[in-house]
Amino acid sequence: RITDHAWVEQGAGLLACNADGPLYLFATQEMNLVGVIENPFGQDSEALPLSLYSFSEGFVLAGSDGLVSVWERTDDSVKDHPTIEQFQHVRTARVGRPGTSITSIDMTSTEETLLVGCKNGDLILAQMASILGSRNGVAECSVISGGYHAGPVASLDIAAQRPLAVTVGKKDKVVRVWNYATKQCELRWQSMSGDPPYTAAMHPFGYFLAVSFSEKLRFFHVL
């Protein structure tokens, strides 16, 4: 089953990802298969590709387990005779929650920022520089929409001067800042390092937030 496709180099090639794992490259002029990548996320990964986006330097593949794989073009002749050998794997990094599938991706016109849509409803912004420079396979990213807590609220605090409250989810390990005047979640933050937050406290003015972890304390500026 084909899950997504993307044109490369002004339509000279067509990429298609399969729900079973492989990535296919077709030459559109002859409409024939010219190459297959069996493990597009890397040899040690069992992630399945679900979404694909082509950009000027290559293509980005996203799929299960919150993974994004970046492939770059190494040969300009791909526009005339596309082959798999003209692309090389640069980096695979996680930008979503472990175990969560990425179902759609898009990129800004500057090709600097990736917008990621997840099966669980999360909407994530990730810088390409963060993905390419990721350490331990995890890229820094911002969840701009993330629904509600998936489980009990472990900690809660409220500001005195602004209509803001902060909550920490016990099960999903997510910190959220809520505007109780508009009844909306203004901010959502989740540690990608695996160190879960336990409690949170908001400054009375509502512009600073302290979040405690097992061995550290982090401070946030709430704009």
- Grouping H, G, I as helix, E, B as strand and the rest as coil, residue 130 is helix
pLDDT score, position 145: 61
pLDDT, tens digit, 9 for 90 and up, residues 95-146: 877 788 888 888 888 899 898 888 876 778 889 999 999 878 888 887 766 5
For domain 2-145, the CATH class is mainly beta
- The more confidently predicted of residues 189 and 194 is 189
3-state DSSP of 85-125: HHEEEEEEEECCCCCCCEEEEEECCCCCEEEEEECCCCEEE
Residue 171: pLDDT over 60: yes
pLDDT in tens, 65-102: 889 999 998 866 555 667 778 889 999 999 877 788 88
Q: Reply yes or no on whether the pLDDT at 208 is more than 90.
A: yes
Q: What is the dihedral of CA 28, 67, 125, 105, to 10 degrees?
A: 30
Helices in the chain by DSSP H: which ranges? 128-132
Q: How far apart are CA 40 and CA 24, in angstroms?
A: 10
- Extract the tokens encoding 5: 């496709």
- Which of helix, strand or coil describes residue 65? helix
Domain locations in the chain as residue ranges: 2-145, 153-221
> What value does the mean pLDDT take over residues 183-196?
80
pTM of the model: 0.66
What is the residue-averaged pLDDT of the chain?
85
- Asked whether the predicted pLDDT for residue 220 surpasses 60, the reply is yes
User: Which residues in the chain belong to E strands, given as ranges?
Assistant: 2-8, 13-18, 23-27, 32-37, 49-55, 58-63, 67-73, 87-94, 102-107, 113-118, 123-127, 141-145, 153-158, 164-169, 174-179, 184-190, 199-202, 208-212, 217-221
